[in-house]
Chains A and B, each alone.
Chain A
């Protein structure tokens, strides 16, 4: 990796020997949750399309969403979207050059982790 022809580009962290830190893990999780959310967007669009076109097709999609697998996917997505939102908010704060010192950055990281679970539980509690 290091002797590759990379011109004047900076060397990115060698992930295999890079010590996992709260700040790096919480950051990569934003990317993972954001991209994984396309699964539930796909589900929701199918659900909308079926609601618009045929009650029979709607029953099929709806019963999948209410099955244990559908519930698992939607609940995981709920956590993912709250996590992504809070993590994104952290980046918007950092963009204003606030909270960049290590102590605040780690504190914000824990806030994102606990906040996402808390918001998920609150949402389920309200919507149940």
Chain B
């Protein structure tokens, strides 16, 4: 948690300005921008580390508040959602950038 938060401290501002500079642009411009190595790398790293960070954070939330039968289900759901979003996001970046 601490390690990912330190990494995200630097990645998040980079991501905000990467993403913020192309949101609202048309398809062609978005694909062209995300094909560049640096924006692609920033988005990919933010997705990997950000979702890893989310997973441990959401797990702590569940450990604190959820009891009984829903506990295991909630933990599983968090894992599946984090991994799925990470995989789909990275797959998309790979298609755009490669």
State the A residues within 8 Å of B (CB). Answer: 31, 34-35, 37-38, 41-42, 44-45, 47-49, 51-53, 55, 58-59, 62, 65-66, 74, 78, 81, 85, 88-89, 92, 95, 123, 126-127
Contacts of B30 in A (CB 8 A): 51, 58
26 pairs, CB–CB < 8 Å, chain A vs chain B: A31-B57, A31-B61, A34-B54, A34-B57, A35-B54, A35-B57, A35-B58, A41-B47, A41-B54, A42-B85, A44-B19, A45-B85, A45-B88, A48-B92, A49-B91, A49-B92, A51-B92, A52-B93, A52-B95, A55-B27, A58-B27, A58-B30, A59-B27, A85-B9, A85-B12, A92-B6
Name the residue on A nearest B26 (C-beta). A62
Chain B, 61-98, contact with A by CB distance < 8 Å: what is the 0/1 string?
10000000000000000000100010011011101100
**A-facing mask of B19-33, CB < 8 A → 1, else 0?**
111011001001100
Contact present for B54 and A53 (CB under 8 Å): no
Check B17–A48 contact: CB distance below 8 A. no
Residue in A34, A52, A74, A127 whose beta carbon sits within 8 Å of that of B91 in the complex: A52
Question: CB-CB < 8 A to B57: which residues of A?
Answer: 31, 34-35
Q: Is B8 an interface residue (CB 8 A)?
A: yes
| Residues from chain B with Cβ under 8 Å of A126 in the complex | 17
Instruction: Write the nearest CB–CB distance from A10 to chain B, whole angstroms.
Output: 14
- B93 → chain A, closest Cβ, in Å? 6
Pick the residue among A85, A89, A127 that contacts B17 (CB under 8 A): A127
Residues of chain B with a CB closer than 8 A to A127's CB? 17, 20-21
Is the pair A78, B92 in contact by a Cβ cutoff of 8 Å?
A: no
Task: Verify A48–B5 contact, CB threshold 8 A.
Answer: no
Residue pair A49, B12 in contact (C-beta under 8 Å): no
A41-B12 in contact (CB<8A): no
Question: Given the complex, which residues of A lie within 8 Å of B38, measured CB to CB?
Answer: none
* Chain A residue at smallest Cβ distance from B54: A38
- Of B24, B43, B93, the residue contacting A66 (CB under 8 A) is B24
A41 touches B50 (CB 8 A): yes
Selected contact of B2 from candidates A45, A58, A92, A123, CB within 8 Å: A92
